[in-house]
Structure 1
Amino acid sequence: MAMYESEHTKFMREWMAKHPEEQSEQKKGRALWWDKPQSVEEQQRFREARVPVKPYYYDANH
């Protein structure tokens, strides 16, 4: 049984195979936006700052 692969995924696989130098650029971009170290204190501040979500968001009476 074959797995479905979108046209975009096929294109990106072929493009990355033809341009292997782009993998280092991709890693730099990911490090810039996503891979950020977090301290335990920072994570604790995030947990404490959370605001509870209403059970039904659009209900103005609660």
Structure 2
Amino acid sequence: MAMYESEHTKFMREWLARNPQELEEQKKGRALWWDKPQDLEESARKAEARVPVKPYYYDANH
């Protein structure tokens, strides 16, 4: 049984096959926005400094 492949996926697969130089641009763009090194100490500090949210945000009595 064949797996479903959307029209967009087919288009992108064919387009990247015709334009292989775009794979490098795609990697650069991903690195710019998403692939960031993680600092565990800073993540821990942010978690400790977090203020809990009230159950009902607009209730001034709690």
**Bigger Rg, structure 1 or 2:** 2
Total equivalences in the alignment: 59
The Cα RMSD (Å) is 2.4
> Counterpart in 2 of 1:19?
19
Structure 2: unaligned runs, 5 residues or longer: none
Q: What does 1:20-39 correspond to in 2, within 5 Å? A: 20-39=20-39
Q: Distance in 2 between matches of 1:51 and 1:16?
A: 46
Aligned-pair identity in percent equals 66
Taking structure 1 as the reference length, the TM-score comes to 0.75
TM-score by length of 2: 0.75
CA deviation map 1:6-59 (0-9, x unaligned): 0000000000000000000000000000011111112213323274585xx8xx
Is structure 2 residue 41 aligned with structure 1 residue 41?
Answer: yes
